[in-house]
């Protein structure tokens, strides 16, 4: 009976699929590919169209990354940033179901302001907001906020933990039934159910309550993207979805098992922590056609840009290294401040250790999706890879990272998603309206309401 129950639960398990939107596409030269529309990259209707396409395919969410600094070599790649919450608010008005995940930094926001912003997005979208929690390691950001230097890795994560505790209290500070709005009695709100949070901590002093009624989801979905030791511990405690980068299924399985184990050890349900690696598909009707597509993108790489990106990730300057020369592991032994981005640094080191690539091969690997998993092949091959990772304990789903827009995503939506659906791995239609419902996550109760019930 227990085995049958387990098999039934496994049969009900469905992939999570997000569209990761990155200006110009996820290949660094995606904006140059024939058919790309770089003139539309500041046109909100372009992003609304992408979100509507993702919604038509019944994807769970669209996701915007962000960082409060111009850190990339903008000379050669479309690596500017759009403030996500403004953009997602406009997308919310053009869609009805798809989740809306935006990035915001715990180092460069204040908890009260961030809590208001995401509460507003969740209200206006009817419960579709997700917060990608980052601590922001790039040194360029600190100078934009009057800091002499970037806080240390440990300090950023200590601040982030307190930040999440504060905003959680703020989102909980209105109980669900605090808003009454009864014109007969004249009672608009039951202020006994609106709670000052009275937070006093090392980094923050916040009185509260939030000045916005409780949101449809209770709290936005908490998303996190760090894979360092501190990042994993943070994710296991707080995250409900984790965006991560892996080059091999073995690496992904080890990460998956570690996070689920840590979450269980903290008393959490591991099924409520979704592990979502990035995947960048190059799709062709034949294997040869897919390889030709990938090679066409490789031909558009500009080494000066790629080498600058490699330096940003690793702290190592390869500008004097021959493109056809093998990259030696010793080159990274004295790597400097980029070690703050520990997970991505380690990913590059692992590629060098495992594959012994030339510099040209290494930058080609990273150009496709900045270290995320690149798959080249037919729709069936792409679906096979997704299914293999999903069923072998490496992923609960994926962030889909098209090399270019919009056709790169259209290929995935029209050719890969139907295969996954036919195999019973992905939904036929939405069964709920909120992002929590899409992800199969419970709606959290207000901690203040729970405390009141416990003392009643």
All domains of the chain in start order, with CATH: 2-287+373-455 (3.20.20.30)
Helix (H) or strand (E) holding 353: helix 342-355
157 assigned ligand-binding residue: yes
How far is residue 274's CA from residue 259's CA, in Å, rounded to a whole number? 10
Quick one: CA dihedral 405, 130, 60, 241, positive or negative? positive
pLDDT at 71: 75
C-alpha 158/C-alpha 282 separation (Å) is: 39
273 phi, psi to nearest 5 deg: -125, 105
> Residue-wise pLDDT tens for the chain (456 aa)?
343 434 444 457 999 999 999 989 999 999 999 999 999 999 999 999 999 999 999 999 999 999 999 976 788 888 899 999 999 999 999 999 999 999 999 999 999 999 999 999 999 999 999 999 999 988 889 999 999 999 999 999 999 999 999 999 999 999 999 999 999 999 999 999 999 999 999 999 999 999 999 999 999 999 998 788 899 999 999 999 999 999 999 999 999 999 999 999 999 999 999 999 999 999 999 999 999 999 999 999 998 888 988 888 888 999 989 999 999 999 888 775 444 466 778 888 888 999 999 998 888 888 877 789 999 999 999 999 999 999 999 999 999 999 999 999 999 999 999 999 999 999 999 999 999 999 999 999 999 998 877 876
Report cis status (omega within 30 of 0) of the bond before 209. yes
Residue among 442, 226, 224, 221 nearest 346 (CA): 226
Rounded CA separation 197/169 (Å): 6
Does residue 228 have a known ligand-binding role?
yes
C-alpha distances in Å from residue 196, one per residue of 5, 13, 170, 205, 216: 45, 40, 8, 12, 20
227 is in an annotated binding site: yes
3 state SS of 451 = helix
Q: What is the pTM of this model?
A: 0.92
Q: Look-up: residue for tokens 């993207």?
A: 225
Take residue 276 and report the two structure tokens written for it.
Answer: 């979502």
Strand partners, 345: none
Is 103 annotated for ligand binding?
yes
Other beta carbons within 10 angstroms of residue 381's beta carbon come to 17
Instruction: Give the separation between CA 441 and CA 432, rounded to whole angstroms.
Output: 11
For residues 240 and 439, what is the distance between their CA atoms, to the nearest angstrom? Answer: 9
Residue linked to tokens 């907001």: 129
Q: Where are the beta strands (DSSP E) in 16-97?
A: 16-21, 61-64
Number of H helices and number of E strands within the chain?
17, 13
């Amino acid at each position: 009976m227990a085995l049958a129950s387990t098999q039934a639960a496994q049969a009900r398990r469905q992939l999570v699929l997000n569209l990761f939107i990155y200006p110009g596409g996820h290949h660094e030269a995606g904006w140059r590919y024939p058919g790309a529309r770089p003139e539309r990259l500041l046109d909100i209707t372009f992003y609304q169209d992408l979100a509507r396409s993702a919604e038509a395919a019944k994807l769970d969410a669209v996701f915007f990354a962000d960082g409060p600094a111009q850190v990339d070599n903008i000379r050669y790649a479309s690596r500017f940033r759009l403030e996500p919450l403004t953009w997602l608010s406009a997308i919310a008005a053009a869609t009805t179901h798809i989740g809306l995940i935006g990035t915001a930094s715990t180092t460069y926001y204040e908890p009260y302001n961030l809590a208001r912003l995401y509460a507003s997005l969740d209200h206006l979208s009817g419960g579709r907001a997700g917060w990608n929690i980052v601590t922001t390691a790039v040194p360029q950001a600190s100078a934009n906020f009057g800091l002499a230097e970037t806080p240390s890795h440990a300090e950023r994560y200590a601040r982030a933990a307190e930040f999440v505790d504060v905003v959680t209290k703020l989102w909980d500070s209105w109980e669900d039934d605090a808003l009454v709005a009864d014109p007969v009695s004249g009672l608009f709100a039951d202020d006994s159910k609106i709670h000052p949070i009275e937070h006093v901590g090392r980094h923050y002093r916040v009185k509260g309550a939030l000045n916005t009624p409780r949101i449809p989801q209770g709290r936005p979905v908490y998303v996190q993207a760090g894979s360092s030791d501190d990042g994993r511990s943070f994710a296991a405690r707080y995250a409900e979805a984790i965006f991560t980068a892996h080059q091999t299924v073995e690496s992904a399985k080890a990460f998956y098992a570690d996070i689920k184990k840590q979450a269980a050890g903290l008393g959490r349900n591991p099924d409520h922590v979704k592990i979502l690696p990035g995947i960048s598909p190059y799709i062709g009707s034949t294997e040869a056609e897919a390889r030709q597509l990938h090679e066409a993108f490789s031909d558009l790489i500009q080494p000066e840009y790629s080498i600058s990106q490699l330096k940003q990730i690793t702290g190592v300057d390869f500008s004097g290294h021959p493109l056809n020369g093998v990259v030696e592991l010793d080159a990274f032994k004295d790597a400097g401040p980029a070690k703050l981005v520990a997970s991505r640094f380690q990913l590059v080191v692992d590629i060098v250790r495992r594959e012994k690539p030339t510099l040209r091969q290494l930058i080609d690997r990273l150009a496709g999706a900045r270290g995320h998993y690149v798959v080249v092949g037919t729709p069936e091959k792409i679906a096979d890879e997704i299914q293999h990772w999903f069923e072998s304990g490496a992923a609960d789903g994926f962030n889909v990272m098209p090399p270019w827009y919009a056709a790169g995503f259209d290929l995935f939506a029209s050719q890969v998603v139907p295969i996954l659906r036919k195999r019973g791995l992905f939904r036929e239609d939405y069964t709920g309206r909120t992002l929590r419902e899409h992800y199969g996550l419970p709606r959290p109760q207000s901690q203040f309401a729970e405390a009141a019930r416990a003392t009643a």
